[in-house]
Structure 1
Amino acid sequence: MSVVDTKMKQKPKWTVFLRFATPAVLASAGVLAITILALFVPPYIGMADNGDYFRILYSNGLYFNAPDYDSQYLGHFVKSYGIFQYFNENGATLSSSQSMFIRLSMWINQLFSPSVFDIRIQAALFTLLYTGAVYLLIEGLTWKLKAMQGYIIAVIAIFIFGDTAYTAFFNSFFSESIVLTMMIYLFAAVLLLYRNRFNDYVLIGIFLISGLILTTSKQQNAPVGVIIAVMSILLFFVRRQRPFRVLVASSLVCVFAAGIATYALIPQEFVNINKYHAMTRGVMLQSEDPEAALESFGIDKQFSVLNKSIYYEPFTTIDVDSEILQNHFYTQYGFGKIVAFYATHPEQAGKMLDLAAKNAFTIRPPAMGNYEQSAGKAFGAQTNFFSVYSDVKQALAPKTFGFIVIWMIVVIGLYLPSFISAWRNKNIREMLRLPQMLCMIAMGLSGILVSIIGAGDADLSKHEFLFTLAFDIVTFAVVADAIQGSLWNNMSVQKSQTISHSA
């Protein structure tokens, strides 16, 4: 028997367990197990359709095949859909990276059933991607960390990211499932670059792919591409090699262009819907004098009759698609004018921001049920299975924009000393943490601002998903760094690894 074998036998069994069951493995396995129980074991948990599914379904070759589908809107989750067998005359109503995942899921589904699509195929695909994202996130936060500290962080990760308020989106056609998965990949890629863990070129590849998919997942995310590109410029200086810098520069340009293209490709129909709500559920909603507010845009004050109305109402004072509105209402303002209006009316802007803050910590939209009709649950019933975190967060988080401002200041203040220290030592890799946090915060804020400027208070709890996710990721990272004592100091990268060493 060799000396090595003898030493292996002498090691306690728990050390062998620690070698393979790392905190990252524990966290990802825990999230995977909980998600499987929630989404793939009866009663299945998913998300009811709020009326938006048709935008992405028909153009991708799917259709509603349940005879009573309309009666299940908002109340019940539906897992089966028909697959067009012949010519599909429905063109794309929007451009989204979501189509890529639907098409892939359909291809896998048709290996088993050519005519009926089971949404759980898509859920399985997202679950696997999500498990990988959680693994990379925890690996970046716990690498070279003491075992006990690492396992504490892993348990917290399961508590937050295994919450069914998040994972229920996988059993739906809402793009939030893509936002959830890709945002974690994006954060993990930069975190691992900061830790100098894994291959830098592979991590930049993950950064690029997740950034592109995240930005193009929905029109609301158009500013995300610009934010990622601008806030991640420091990545260019991590290494001096020309191939690396060319790859980073190309990646930033691609993500920036994706943001611009996503905005440019917004269909005019959706522009009108958002503009309608921006005025009726935004500008006029919080104005003490709606008629005067309209006149400041050059709009006839008689349109104040539309105050607080919704575009989709079956019976309206004026047809929302009429030439009257098209020529005398929609054409009189754009989102730039709305921004200028709020800038000159800070009190009204503050009311809208506080209104947004009331919904900024809600993960699960309150309007949509989670169960199939066959489960026998009440219409609109939502699951309580592994949802403690989302319930506590919604109940206890302060519902004012002032709290969000304080949160941002605290996060920046915690990471600023280590950034300054790394800057003085000319260690670019260690400088990545603060810009990474700022990028996530900026993306979260864009979710709030785009929502209230672009659509008022219409469906705020769902539109602000980007912020609530950014809040959780950043806050979780702060807690993890506090556990390992690295808030004020860079502990993960050796001091000798300056830019000259990585060149």
Structure 2
Amino acid sequence: MFRIMTVPKKRISARFFSCILLFVIACAITVYVLYNPPYPGVADQGDFQRVMGVAGLLMDADSDSYFFRYVVKEYDMVGINPLRLAGIIPTTSMIYPIAAAKLICLTAGMNVFNTHILSAVYCLMYISSILLCLNLLEIKKESTFIFCGLISLFILLDGNYLIWFNSLYGEPMMIIGMLIFAASCLYLIKSEKPGIKELALLFFSSLLFIGAKLQCISALPLVVFIIVRIVFAKKEIFHIGKTRLYVFLPAILLIYYCGGIYVDLNNTCGKDTKYNSVFYGILKNSENPEKDLEMLGLPADLAVEAGKHAYLPAEEYEKYVPWSEITEKEFYRKISNIKLLKFYILNPRRLIKGLEYTASQSFQTQSFLGKYEKGAVSGYTYEFKRFTLWSDFRNGYFPKRLVFIIAFAAAVLSVSVFEYMKHKSDLRYRLKIELFWVATGIGLLQFPMPYVGNGEADTAKQLFLFNFIFDILVIAACVSVFSVIGKISLKSKTGIRRQ
């Protein structure tokens, strides 16, 4: 009896100590990367305005000259529409951490919004979500748990991930939202008597992820699938009546929310991405631009702008300047995402070439945007080398080829399928693997999106979520190898003892 009671206590205390250790290490890394002078960040390339407009922030007029080159950390604060905070008006989920950071700034007596406060909010959310996922995976062996934790911190707290936290880009919210959603799914899988609270948490976390950036909307079908799958797999023990109603009603609201975000952003940044997808994508390396335009249902004389993106000076265009009246009439009103998808379905070779180009831009979480405030360093620099061992290694040594990406993903998924088949009677274990498949699927869906939806413009930056999920596959592969080595070592020791 004594032994039965003391073993769990030892196990709990050991796990608690491991979590505290990992938390301290994570905090030390983030402090070194983000809060060590000169303070790093990422300069605005024109993306901040659509976030500031809904989050109640204003940029100083002089800050326009800092675009691409220097970080701006302070912004004026104005009110936020309460309907946006309540989700009645679909809005980027960045509004919530920004609102929390604004509240901290006001409480501290600050007259301006400081992105250093926002980065601290992001760091707390990020570290907490990583540790939550690690705990909810229910790794039994302490050595495996510690190894998984350390390699997760080494990879996921890389400086080229953390540096984006000191900015108004949507990249931090994407990866934080995904981890929080994964943690919510794992919590629901683990829960003995799930109810409305667990389900509400799951749907709110899905909003945080899907609403982070326009490109996350492609994950909506997979997000809805895994929610419905988990709920219906555990419907016998669900602590609520009318399970179908409680699942499908929030799912419909989630679709409405995402639709609202899509319509809102599609009318602004969507125009630039469509311009890039055609002129800087389909037509850029086309042997017959006029024929391609005919397939898209567009006028043939648009070919004069082939190879141009939407961010050139107006005088660089022959006729069809982005956002101009004639471009609105002849291009924007006639093009659609469905037409773009149809084009690549009918021209698979062009799609493969595009994916090969995308692969050449993969594994890069760094950028050529300025990394410091004006005056903090001698001049503009995009270089950043604080705790970037992993991203430097990945960028320098991972083959940036489509065949490598497919082969690696296939190898990891094959192992997971084997594990899935081996644990036929363990529902919780199988649901965790299905969640892993969904995460992988989200990453794979992210891969073709930059080229199909934006041509060759800003490809590396738009692969941010893909790179993050690929890193999760790397972590899974490393932990699997460590676990196998541990089992082999244990068997060999047992064999020696028997002899």
Partner AA of 1:77 in structure 2: V
Alignment of 1:121-160 (within 5 A): 121-141=117-137, 143-145=139-141, 147-160=142-155
**Counterpart among 156, 161, 172 of residue 161 in structure 1:** 156
Do 1:371 and 1:377's aligned partners in 2 also have CA atoms closer than 8 Å?
no
The equivalent residue for 2:413 is 412
1:215 has 2:210 as partner: yes
Q: Structure 2 vs 1, CA of residues 181 and 86 (structure 1 numbering), >3 Å: closer, same or farther?
A: closer
Give the alignment partner of residue 115 of structure 1, picking from 111, 128, 133. 111
User: How do residues 263-342 of structure 1 correspond to structure 2 at under 5 angstroms?
Assistant: 263-315=262-314, 316-318=317-319, 319-342=321-344
Q: Offset at 1:255?
A: 3.8
Q: Equivalent residue for 2:223? A: 228
What runs of 5+ residues in structure 1 fail to find an aligned partner?
88-92, 489-503
Q: CA separation of 1:438/1:398 partners in 2, compared to 1, >3 Å: closer, same or farther?
A: same
Q: Cα–Cα, structure 1 residues 258 and 28, in superposed 2: closer, same or farther, change >3 Å?
A: farther
> How far off its partner does 1:239 sit?
4.5
Residue 110 of structure 1 aligns to a residue in which SS? helix
Q: 1:46 aligns with which of 41, 45, 59?
A: 41
SS of equivalent to 2:75: strand
Deviation at 1:165, TM superposition (A): 0.8
Distance in 2 between residues matched to 1:435 and 1:78, nearest whole Å: 42
> In the TM superposition, what is the alpha-carbon distance from 1:19 to its structure 2 partner?
5.5
Shift of 1:133: 0.7
- Is the partner of 1:243 in helix, strand or coil? coil
| Equivalent residue letter for 1:280 | F
Q: Map Cα deviations across residues 24-54 of structure 1 (whole Å, 9 max, x no partner).
A: 3333321222112222231112111111112
The range that moved more, 174-183 or 204-213, is 204-213
1:492 corresponds to = none
Residues 67-88 of structure 1 deviation map (CA, whole Å, 9 limit, x = unaligned): 3x2332222222122234999x
| Superposition map of 1:86-105 within 5 A | 95-105=91-101
Q: What SS is found at the alignment partner of 1:77?
A: coil
**Take 1:15 and 1:266, find their aligned partners in 2: how far apart are those partners?**
49
Give, in angstroms, the shift of residue 481 of structure 1: 3.5
Paired residue type of 2:356:
D
- Deviation at 1:189? 3.4
Bigger shift: 179-188 or 389-398? 179-188
- SS of 2:169's equivalent in the other structure is coil
Match of 1:484 in 2: 483
Counterparts in 2 of 1:249 and 1:322: CA distance versus 1, 3 Å: closer
Tell me, what secondary structure is at the counterpart of 2:422?
Answer: helix
Q: Is the 8 A contact 2:278 2:455 kept in 1?
A: yes
Asked whether the 8 Å contact 1:149–1:484 carries over to 2, the reply is: yes
> More deviation in 326-335 or 409-418?
326-335
Q: Is the 8 A contact 1:47 1:368 kept in 2?
A: yes
| RMSD of Structure 2 on Structure 1 (CA) | 3.1
Moved more, 48-57 or 171-180: 48-57
Runs of 4+ in 1 over 6 A off after TM superposition: 14-17
- Return 5+ residue gaps in structure 2 as ranges: 82-88, 488-499
Aligned equivalents of 2:28, 2:391: Cα separation in 1 = 18
TM-score with structure 2 setting the length? 0.85
Say how many residue pairs are matched: 467
CA distance in 1, matches of 2:365, 2:348: 28
- The structural deviation recorded for 1:387 is 0.5
Taking the TM superposition and a 5 Å limit, the aligned residue runs for 1:391-470 are: 391-423=392-424, 425=425, 427-470=426-469
Structure 2 distance, partners of 1:36, 1:20, is: 23
* C-alpha contact 1:46 1:171 (8 A) present in aligned 2: yes
**Is the Cα contact below 8 Å between 1:418 and 1:487 reproduced in 2?**
no
Deviation at 1:156, TM superposition (A): 0.9
The answer to whether the 8 Å contact 2:73/2:115 transfers is: yes
Q: In the aligned structure 2, how far is the partner of 1:461 from the partner of 1:200?
A: 40
SS in 1 for 2:25: helix
Q: Is the 8 A contact 1:141 1:477 kept in 2?
A: no
For 2:90 and 2:287, the matched residues in 1 are separated by 36
1:21 aligned to 2:17?
Answer: yes
Q: Distance in 2 between matches of 1:294 and 1:386?
A: 47
Q: Distance in 2 between matches of 1:465 and 1:19?
A: 32
Q: Give the superposition deviation at 1:306.
A: 0.9
Query: What letter matches 1:52 in structure 2?
Result: D
Instruction: Please list the CA deviations of residues 460-492 of structure 1 after superposition, one character each: whole Å capped at 9, or x if unmatched.
Output: 11111121111112321232233234999xxxx
CA contact 2:105–2:111 (8 Å) conserved in 1: no
Aligned runs of 1:316-395 on 2, under 5 Å? 316-318=317-319, 319-364=321-366, 366-395=367-396
Change (3 A) 1:392 1:200: farther
Looking at structure 2, the residues matched to 29 and 294 of structure 1 have their Cα atoms a distance apart, in angstroms, of 57
Q: Quote the residue 1:499 is aligned against.
A: none
CA spacing shift, 1:85–1:334, aligned 2, 3 Å: closer
2:26 is aligned with 1:31: yes
- Pair 472,220 (structure 1): closer, same or farther in 2 beyond 3 Å: same
Once the two structures are overlaid, the 10-residue window that deviates more, 110-119 or 299-308, is 110-119
- Residues in 1 aligned to 2:143 and 2:12: alpha-carbon distance in whole angstroms: 15
**In structure 2, distance between residues paired with 1:480 and 1:188:** 18
Deviation at 1:182, TM superposition (A): 1.5
Q: CA deviation at 1:430?
A: 2.3
Residues 60/182 of structure 1: CA separation in 2 closer, same or farther (3 Å cut): closer
User: CA-to-partner distance for each residue in 1:127-159, whole Å, 9 max, x for gaps?
Assistant: 1111111111222346321x3333222221221
Structure 2 CA distance for aligned equivalents of residues 198 and 124 of structure 1: 34
Residues 226, 255 of structure 1: 8 Å contact kept: no
Cα distance, 1:389 vs. partner?
0.5
Measured after TM superposition, the shift of residue 190 of structure 1 is: 3.3
- CA–CA distance in 2 between the matches of 1:288 and 1:355? 17
- Give, as a single letter, the amino acid of the residue that structure 1 aligns with 2:107: L
Query: How far apart in 1 are the matches of 2:326 and 2:436?
Result: 46
- Quick one: distance in 2 between partners of 1:296 and 1:253? 35
Q: CA 1:48–1:16 in 2, change beyond 3 Å: closer, same or farther?
A: same
Q: Does the aligned pair in 1 maintain the 2:219–2:442 contact within 8 Å? A: yes
Conserved? CA contact 2:177–2:212, under 8 Å: no
Equivalent residue in structure 2 for 1:174, among 164, 169, 177: 169
Looking at structure 2, the residues matched to 50 and 60 of structure 1 have their Cα atoms a distance apart, in angstroms, of 18
1:350-373 deviation line (CA, Å, top 9, x unaligned): 111111112221122x22122222
How far apart in 1 are the matches of 2:80 and 2:260?
Answer: 32
